[in-house]
Amino acid sequence: MSDLLAQWLRLALPLVLATASEVVAERAGVVNLALEGMLLAGALAAWLVAAGGGAAALGPALLVALLTGVVLALLLALLVIPGRAHPLVAGSALHFGCLGATGLLFERMKGSASVTTFGELAAPWRWLPWIGAALLVAATFLFLERTRAGLRLRAAGDHPEALRAAGGSPARSRLLGLLVAGALAGLAGASLTTVLTGAFVEGMSSGRGFLALALVLFARWRASGALLAGLFVAALFTLELRLGADAAGTHGFAVFALRALPYVATIAALALVRVEPGRAPGALNEPLD
Amino acid sequence: MSAALAFRGATKRYGGRAVVDGVDLELHGGEIHALLGENGAGKTTLARMALGLVPPDAGGLAIDGVATAIPDAAAAARLGIGMVHQHFALAEGLTVAENLLLADAPRAWRRRDFEARAKERLAARALDLDPARRVGLLPVGLRQRLEIAKALDHARRVLLLDEPTAVLTPAEGEALFEQLRSLRASGLAIALITHRLDDALRLADRVTVLRAGRVVHAAARARAGPAYDAAAIVRALFGDAPASLPPAPPPPRDAAVRLVASGLAGDRFGPLDLELRAGERVVITGVDGHGQGELLETLAGIERPRAGGLAITAARRAFIAGDRRRAGLALPLSIAENVALARGAFARPWFTRRELHAVAAPRLARFDVRARGPAQPAGELSGGNQQRVVLARELAAEPELILAEHPTRGLDLQASAFVQGELLAAAARGAALLVATTDLDEALALASRLLVIVRGRLHPCATTREAVADRLAQEATR
Amino acid sequence: MKRAAPWLVALAAALLALLLLQWQGIAPARALPLLAGGAFGDANAWSATLRIATPLLLCAIGVTLAFRCGLWNIGAEGQLLVGGVAAAWAGHACGHWFPALLAGAAAGAAWAALPALLAVKRGVPEVLATLMLNGVALELLRWLVTGPLQEPTRQFPQTARLPREAWLPQLALGRTGALHLGLPLALLAALAVGLFLARTRAGLLLRTGATAPRLARAQGFALDRARVVAFAAAGALAGLAGAVDVAGVARAADRSLAQGLGYAAVAAALLAGLRCAWLPAAALLLAALQSGTSALQWAANLPGIDRFGLLLQGLAIAALLVAARFAGRSEGGERTEGSAAP
C-alpha cells in the first residue's frame, strides 16, 4: 500500500509543478505551448549535471534545470512581447527547438553514468522534492495572491489597460510571469530525471506538458487547483500502471482505456463543464500595444 | 474666480483635419458642465488633452487661471485631474479590493490588512461593496461606481466622465446623478461628456455644444423658467447648414411592400411596427444609442428578435453595417474578394481569376474605389474607400431592400455625397431604403419619410429640421 | 531596410545553424554537401526524402486549410495515426489499396470532426481538444498493434503485413520505393485545396469567417457547419497521409508511425506562410532537412545529429516570426486570435 502511495506522489510531482507553471503563465496572459519542450529541457539539464555525481550533484542539478527553464522562457518572452508573435505560433517554434536540442545534446553526451535519485537518499533528504514542491505551490499562491508583483501580473493577463492606467507595465509583468513559469517548468522537468527515474530518455515528458495545458482549466487558474488537478490525474496514471503491470496481454483494452482516460476525461470535462466567462484571464494571448 | 481647468484656443489636428478647432471652455469647481456633441465632434480628444494623453497642436490649458502644460498621465494625476472612461479600466477577473488598490498596493500583504485597507477606501466613498467580490460578477452600475471611486482617488480638482450613462439602466443612472450632485456640492469641477441630450439638460449647470471640433453653442442653466432652450441646443447639435443635395422625388403610392415588422422587439428597442414599400426612403434619426443599431441588425437577420414578427419580400437585400471593420469587410481579403462575397456574384460555385476580376473591376470602378489594384487587402484602404468597397458589394446587384447603418460615418464630404447619391439612385430605381443615421443633414436629404427613435420607439416626424429638433427636445425634457 | 529585414533574419538563422554544426564538429564546408547528398544525392536519398515529404505535405495541406478558416488544428499527428491504422486494417481486410486509402481518410476525418463539433457547439478550444486526441490516438495505436490488430505470429508489435494487391502503385526508387501514388495525390490535394480556398465561394466565405464571422453569416452562409466540414477535410488529409505511408512504404502499421510528422506539418504550414502554392516546397525542405541530417549522422558518425532537423525547424519558425514583425504583419495567416469559439 505504501508503495502505491509513493508511486502516486512520484507521478504527481511533475504534473503539479507543470500545471502550476502554466497557471502563472496564463495568468500573465500567455499560453505556453512550449511547456512540453521546457519539461524535456529541464529533465536533460538536470540529468547532465547529476549523472555520476552522486547525491551532492542533485542540488546543482535542480538549480541548472531551473535556470534552463528561465532561459527558454526568456526566449519565448522575446518572441511574444517585443516580437509581438502570436503565443501559440511562438510556442510551437520553441517546442520544436527544444525537442531538437534535447535530442541532439543527449545523443552527444550520452553516457552510462546514472543519476542518484532522491528516493535513494536517506530521510529526511528523500522527502525534499515533495516538501520543495509543496513549498513552491504555496509560494506560487502567495506570489500571485498576496504580492504587488503578482497582482500586477494578474492584471496584465486580465486587462492590460487597467494596469497601465494604474501605472504598471503589462509588458514587464508578462515577462516576469513567463520567467517564473519557466523556472517552475524547469523544475518539473528535473523531477522527471531526479525523482521518477534516474536516467534520461528521449521524449520522456510523454505529453505531460500538453496535459498540463488542459489541467489549468480545471485548476481554475489557481495554484491550489494545480495541486489538486495534478494529484487527481496522477492517481489515474497510478491505477493504469498497476493494472498494466498485473496484466500482460489479456487486459490490453483496459490498459489502453486507462492510459487514454486522462485525455478523454479532459475533453469530456471541457465539453460538459462550461468555463464561466470571466474565469479565464481576460486578455489571454492578446497582443500588448 | 478662475476656472479649475480651462481650455484656451485648444486645437488638435490629425492628418490635416482639425479634430479640435480653437476650443475655449471652462470647467469651474462646484459645477457640472456637459459637453454635448455627436461622434467625432471632438469631445473625447478634449478629454484626452486634459489627461495628458494628447498634446494640443495650438492653444493650451490653464489650471486655476495659470497656463499649464500637461505632458503625461502622471502630470494630470498630480494636478488632480481624473477620468471615468466609457469602457472601464477594471480587471474583471480581480476582486474589488484588488482593482481599488492596483495603483498603490504594498509590496506584500496579509489578506486581512488588504481587505481592511480596501474597506477604508470604500467607506470614504460611501460605497457599500464587498471587497472580496470579483468585479466581473458586479452589475454594471456598481462597476461604474467602483471606477468612479478609483478616479476620485486622484481627481481632486476635475473629474471627467465619458458617456457614463451609456451602459446603465435608468435606475442606475439616477444613482449616478445623485452621486454627481453630491460630488458637485463638495466643490469638484465635473465635466460630463455625452451625446445624450436628456442627461445633459437634467443634470448640467452649463452646456457646451461641440460640432466638428468647434464650440457652436454655450448656455448656462436659467434660474427661472425652463432650464435650457432645448430646441436651440438641438439645432446647434445637428447644425444649420442647408442640405446640399437636390430634393429627391417622392415614391409611388401603391408600390409593393418589401418589409413588414409587427410588434417587433429586441433588447434595446420595441415593440414597434414598421412598413416599407418599394421606392420609399425611410430614415430613422435621433440621438445615438437609442436602439437604432440593434433594430437594424434584427431587420437584417443578424440578430434574433425577442418578440414580434418580421416579413420581408425582397429578391435581393443589402445590409450596410455600422461596424465596417468587423461586419462590413473581411480585412485580410483583397477588395476584389470582398466585393465578390455578394450573393449571386457568380453563376457557379467556383470562379477563375479572370471571372473574379470581371466581377469586381466594374463594381470597384463604378463606386470609384481608390486602391493599388483589386488584389490589395481591404484592411489597407482608407475609411472612405473601405465604405465604397462595401457599397460595391451590397449595391451592385440592384437589391430590392437596402438597410444601412450610418452609411457616411467617418467619411469626408465628397465621399459622403457620393454614398448618399448612390442610395438615392437605388431608391429611384425601386429599392426600399431604410437608413439609420444621427446626421440630421443626411437624414433630411435622404428621407421621403422620417422617423425619430427615442428609447427604442419610433415616432413619425415631418421632414423638416425644426420638427426633428422639437421632437427630440420634447423627448429629452420629458 | 524594412524589406531587407526578413532576409537578414533568415541569414542570421542560417549562420546560427552553421555555427551549431561547427560546434558539433562538422565543418560547414563539409556539412552542406553531406546534407544535400543525404537528401538528394542518389535514388536512396530521394526515396528517404520523399518518404517523409509525401505524408508531411498531405498533413500540412490539412493544417493550412484549417488555419486559413481560423481554426487551430494541432491534431494532425493523431489524425495521421488513426488513418494509418485504419488503412492497415482495411488494406488487409479488403486486399486492395483503394479501400485502404478511403479508410484512412475517413478515420482522419472522424478524428477531426469531433474536436470541430466540440469547438462549434460547446466552445471547447480546438487547440486543446486536438492535442488531447493526439494522446488518445497514440495509446490507441499502441493497444491495437499489440492486441486486436496484431500480426498473426504475435511476435512483432505491428499490424498484419499488407498483401501485394494492397500496396500502392509505385515506381522503383532506391530501397524503400517511396515514389508511389501518394505523391501525385498530395500534389493534387495541394492544388485542390489551394483552388478551393481562392476560387470558390465557399472558400471565400470560410476565409471571411476567420476574421469577420458576422459578415460571412450575413451572406447567408452556414459558417459553423462549413467549419466543421473544413476541419474534417483537414483531418481526412492527415488520415490519408498515414494511409499513404502504410500502403506505400511501411506495409504495416507499427509504433514508428508518425513520429512527430503531424507537428512537423504545423511547422511546414507556417513556413509556407499558409499558402498552398508554397506547401510542396516547404514540405520538401523540411523532409530534406530530416533525411539529410540522418545521412549526416551516418557519414560523420555523430549520433543524434538527426535531431538537428527539429532544432532548425524551430529556428526557422522563430526567424519567420521576427521577420514578419519587421515587415509589419502578424504571422499566423489570417488569424490573429485564439480559438474558433465565437
C-alpha to C-alpha distance for A79 and A162, rounded to whole angstroms: 24
ipTM computed for the complex? 0.85
The answer to whether residue C335 scores a pLDDT higher than 50 is no
Q: Give me the residues of B, 104-163, that contact C with CB < 8 A.
A: none
Q: Do B350 and C204 touch (CB under 8 A)?
A: no
**Interchain contact A55–C (C-beta under 8 A):** no
Determine how many CB atoms are found less than 10 A away from the CB of residue C142. 19
Judged by average pLDDT, the poorest of A35-39, A73-77, C213-217 is: C213-217
- Provide the pLDDT for residue A276: 56
Closest-CA residue in chain B for A143? Answer: B108
**Domain range for residue C153?**
5-340
Q: How confident is the model at residue B441 (pLDDT cuts 50, 70, 90)?
A: confident
Same domain, B171 and B213: yes
Q: Which of B194, B228, B262 lies at the terminal end of a domain, its last residue?
A: B228
**Interchain contact A95–B (C-beta under 8 A):** no
B327 domain-assigned: no
**Interchain contact A40–C (C-beta under 8 A):** no
- Provide the pLDDT for residue B11: 92
Q: How confident is the model at residue B23 (pLDDT cuts 50, 70, 90)?
A: very high
Q: Nearest Cβ partner of C307 from A84, A94, A100?
A: A100
Determine how many CB atoms are found less than 10 A away from the CB of residue A50. 29
**Domain range for residue B373?**
334-397
- Provide the pLDDT for residue C314: 75
Q: Nearest Cβ partner of A85 from C131, C263, C321?
A: C321
Decide which of B245 and B203 is more confident: B203
* Sheet strands side by side (includes B31-36): B81-84, B158-162, B189-194, B31-36, B206-211, B214-220
Mean pLDDT value across residues A151-164: 90
The answer to whether the CB of B97 falls within 8 A of the CB of B174 is no
The answer to whether residue B190 scores a pLDDT higher than 70 is yes
B329 domain-assigned: no
Same domain, B66 and B184: yes
The answer to whether residue C126 scores a pLDDT higher than 80 is yes
DSSP B80: T
- Provide the pLDDT for residue C221: 85
Mean pLDDT value across residues B340-359: 87
Q: Do A100 and C308 touch (CB under 8 A)?
A: yes
Q: What percent of chain B has pLDDT over 70?
A: 95
List the one residue out of B338, A222, A280 whose CA is nearest residue C339.
A280
Mean pLDDT value across residues A61-85: 92
Joined together, the cell numbers standing for residue B451 give 422617423
Same domain, B80 and B161: yes
Domain count for chain B, please give it. Answer: 3
> Which tens digits make up the pLDDT trace of C191-209?
999 999 999 999 999 999 9
C-alpha to C-alpha distance for C109 and C232, rounded to whole angstroms: 4
- Provide the pLDDT for residue A25: 96
Same domain, B388 and B419: no
The answer to whether residue A248 scores a pLDDT higher than 70 is no
> Which tens digits make up the pLDDT trace of B211-270?
888 898 888 888 777 778 877 887 787 665 544 555 566 667 778 888 999 999 988 887
List the one residue out of B423, B420, B401, B400 whose CA is nearest residue B409.
B420
B13 domain-assigned: yes
- Provide the pLDDT for residue A87: 86
Domain count for chain C, please give it. Answer: 1
Q: How confident is the model at residue C1 (pLDDT cuts 50, 70, 90)?
A: very low
**Interchain contact A139–B (C-beta under 8 A):** no
C-alpha to C-alpha distance for A4 and A1, rounded to whole angstroms: 5
Measured between beta carbons, which residues in chain B are less than 8 angstroms from residue A278? 92-93, 134, 136-137
| Burial B138-157, CB ≥16 within 10 A → b, else e | beebbbbbbbbbbbbbbbbb
Same domain, B352 and B474: no
Same domain, B352 and B464: no
Q: What percent of chain C has pLDDT over 90?
A: 33
Same domain, B387 and B407: no
> At B30, which CATH number?
3.40.50.300
Mean pLDDT value across residues B415-434: 88
**Interchain contact A93–C (C-beta under 8 A):** yes
Q: Nearest Cβ partner of C204 from B326, B327, B337?
A: B337
- Mean pLDDT over each residue of chain B, to the nearest integer: 85
Mean pLDDT value across residues B57-84: 87
CA angle B263, B267, B273 (to 5 degrees): 20
- Provide the pLDDT for residue C334: 36
**Interchain contact B302–C (C-beta under 8 A):** yes
Same domain, B154 and B53: yes
DSSP C124: -
**Interchain contact A147–B (C-beta under 8 A):** yes
- Provide the pLDDT for residue B161: 93
DSSP B328: I
Q: Do A154 and B92 touch (CB under 8 A)?
A: no
- Provide the pLDDT for residue B250: 67
The answer to whether residue B144 scores a pLDDT higher than 90 is no
Same domain, B33 and B76: yes
Q: Nearest Cβ partner of C311 from A100, A107, A213?
A: A100
Rg (CA), chain C: 20
- Provide the pLDDT for residue A289: 64
- Provide the pLDDT for residue B33: 95
- Provide the pLDDT for residue B248: 62
The answer to whether residue C34 scores a pLDDT higher than 80 is no
Q: Do A93 and C307 touch (CB under 8 A)?
A: no
Strand ranges in B31-171 using DSSP code E only, listed in sequence order: 31-36, 58-63, 66-68, 81-84, 158-162
Q: Do A146 and B107 touch (CB under 8 A)?
A: no
Mean pLDDT value across residues A138-156: 95
Mean pLDDT value across residues B41-64: 87
Q: How confident is the model at residue A104 (pLDDT cuts 50, 70, 90)?
A: confident
> At C190, which CATH number?
1.10.3470
The answer to whether residue C2 scores a pLDDT higher than 70 is no
